[in-house]
Each structure stands twice: as C-alpha cells, then as structure tokens.
Amino acid sequence: MDGDTLFSIGELARRTGVTVKAVRFYSDEGIVPPLDRTPAGHRVYGLDAVARLGLVRTLRDLGLGLPAIRKVVDREVSLAEVAAAHAEALEVQIRTLRLQRAVLTAVAGRGPTPKELDLMHKLARLSAAERDRLIADFLDAAYRGLDPGVVRSMTPVLPDDPDDAQVAAWVELAELMQDQGFVADARRLAERVSAARGGGFAPPRPHIVAVVREKADLALDPASPEARSIVDHVTAHPACPDDLPAYLRAATDPRRIRYLELLARINAWPPPEPPVPAVEWFLRALSVRRGG
C-alpha cells in the first residue's frame, strides 16, 4: 500500500467537490468503499475512489437513485442501459409535468370551482389507454353509425411529445367530452346529417355549412337579388335538410366550434375557418327570402 496514492475522507471530499458527510454515506453504503484504514481506524481511499465518487455525483445530479447507481459502479449493468431506462422514466415525468402545468395555467386563466379543478386534474393525469377510452366513448355516443372517415375527422390524437398548446387543448377538449349536453347536441346534429341523406349515416359531401360558407357574401345586402340567388342555390342543394335554420344553428353551436378548434390544435391541423359570420349572413338572407 506504500506505493498507492491515498486520500483521507476529507481529502477525497475536497478533490471531488462533495461533502464529507456524503463521502461517508456512500462509503457506508458500499458504493465507494475505503481502500484501507489507518492504525487509528480512519478510512483512506485510493484513486479508484475518486473516479467512482465522480461518477456517483454525476449520476445523482442526473436524478438516478442509489440502487441504479450501485449497479452501474459495480458494473452489474452498463451505463448506457441505465441511462436509457432513466431517460424513458424522465420522459414520463416530463409529460406529467406538462399536463400539470396545463392544468395550473387553465386554473390561473379561468378560476374554476374546486369541483371543476378536480375534474381538470383527473383529466390531465389520464394514461394513454384511459385517454383512448374516453375518446372512444365520446365518439360512440355522438357519432355511432357515421362513415368511418367522418369519425376519424373528429378524433383527437395527442402526440407522444405534445407541445404546451396541445396539452392545454387536450385538457379543455376532454372536459368538453364530459359535457353530456354537448354530447347529446352532437348526436342530434349527426342525426340531422342522416336525415339530409334520407336515412343512414353517410354524410353529405360537401357539408351544407361548407356550401353556405362558400356562397355567402358578407358584402351583399341580405335583401338583394344576389343574396336571394345564393339562398336559392343553397336550399336547392341535395344536402340541404328540411329544417335548415335549426340545422345551421346546431352546426354553429359555440361548443362545437370550440371542439373543432381544439381538435385542430391537438392534431396539428390548420385552424378551421370560422363559420358563424357566413351562417349568420345566410340566415338573415333566408329569412328575407321566406318573408320572415
């Protein structure tokens, strides 16, 4: 041992930048064992302890626990294996923190009641499988029987690495899916789509709201001959339902519009064009045309 470079516990602490208490703790745990003891019983450490303690400090700073650190320094597992497992665990924590931040941001902006806050917290903590179940239940209740393409177009898919806006949109959308009034209204609108086709749930193409939005001209006087021509074109369209005013009002329900906005944000789609100005103009023109 005479040719070895030896360090007292204090020297080892100074050399590695950790406290004497920490060195003693890792030594007692067998992670950085002493090379020997002096005749007086004081622990002494070799150069290997400097390297081990430096690795331990780095791994602790990265958030690894003692069991994982012990396996690395004892070479029971490779550092790469532990790093991969820890990175995966951190990813889960990051997602959870993002969801929690989204809830807190929503709380700061909306001032929910304790009951609403509890619901928001639960929604933010749903697992991927639980999210899928919530979405499937909503889609089944609101759009059961529709063409699969339509159902897909109404399905939110939160990516594995969502940004803050997508996370916040998911929390709000999940709340909306829990609104039984909204679910019932969405179902009634789907049934109106079915009626416009004479039965079945294959949706008309193009959607009548899209026809209105395309043809409406907000610069026109709703009582003008040109506006009357637009009304006649829309009401003659094969997709036009009998109860057109009620249908259009249902299609422009603020909750439905908000759903589509949130859906686009979550799925990274272009934001939908607001239908309300065109629909309101058309309803005025329709009322004039019908003498209302």
Dump pLDDT digits (tens) for 192-246: 766 665 554 444 456 788 899 999 999 999 999 999 999 999 999 887 888 899 8
Q: Specify the higher pLDDT residue, 148 or 176.
A: 176
45 forms beta bridges with 7
In a domain, 165, yes or no: yes
Share of the chain above pLDDT 90, in %: 37
For residue 152, what pLDDT is reported?
86
Q: Specify the higher pLDDT residue, 184 or 72.
A: 184
Q: Please indicate, yes or no, whether residues 134 and 278 belong to a single structural domain of this protein.
A: yes
Distance from C-alpha of 264 to C-alpha of 270, rounded to nearest angstrom: 6
Query: Which of 16, 45, 77 marks a domain boundary?
Result: 77
pTM of the entire predicted model = 0.62
Query: Per-residue confidence at 134, pLDDT binned at 50, 70, 90?
Result: very high
To the nearest 10 degrees (0 to 180), the angle between helices 128-143 and 164-177 is 50
DSSP 243: T
In a domain, 60, yes or no: yes
Q: Within 13 Å and on the Cβ side, how many CA atoms surround 291? A: 0
- Give CA 25 to chain center in angstroms: 42
Tokens of 33: 């064992």
Query: Average of pLDDT values for 95-111?
Result: 74
Three-state DSSP state, 44: strand
For residue 195, what pLDDT is reported?
64
In a domain, 163, yes or no: yes
* Amino acid residing at 32: V
The domain in which residue 60 lies consists of 7-77
Taking only the tens place, the pLDDT of each residue in 145-155 is 877 777 888 99
Q: Please indicate, yes or no, whether residues 130 and 67 belong to a single structural domain of this protein.
A: no
In a domain, 114, yes or no: no
Q: Please indicate, yes or no, whether residues 179 and 282 belong to a single structural domain of this protein.
A: yes
**Residue (of 168, 178, 165) closest to 133 by Cα position:** 178
Distance from C-alpha of 83 to C-alpha of 160, rounded to nearest angstrom: 20
Q: Please indicate, yes or no, whether residues 150 and 46 belong to a single structural domain of this protein.
A: no
Q: Please indicate, yes or no, whether residues 203 and 281 belong to a single structural domain of this protein.
A: yes
Query: Which of 16, 47, 77 marks a domain boundary?
Result: 77
Q: Please indicate, yes or no, whether residues 169 and 52 belong to a single structural domain of this protein.
A: no
8 A C-beta contact, residue 96 and residue 125: yes
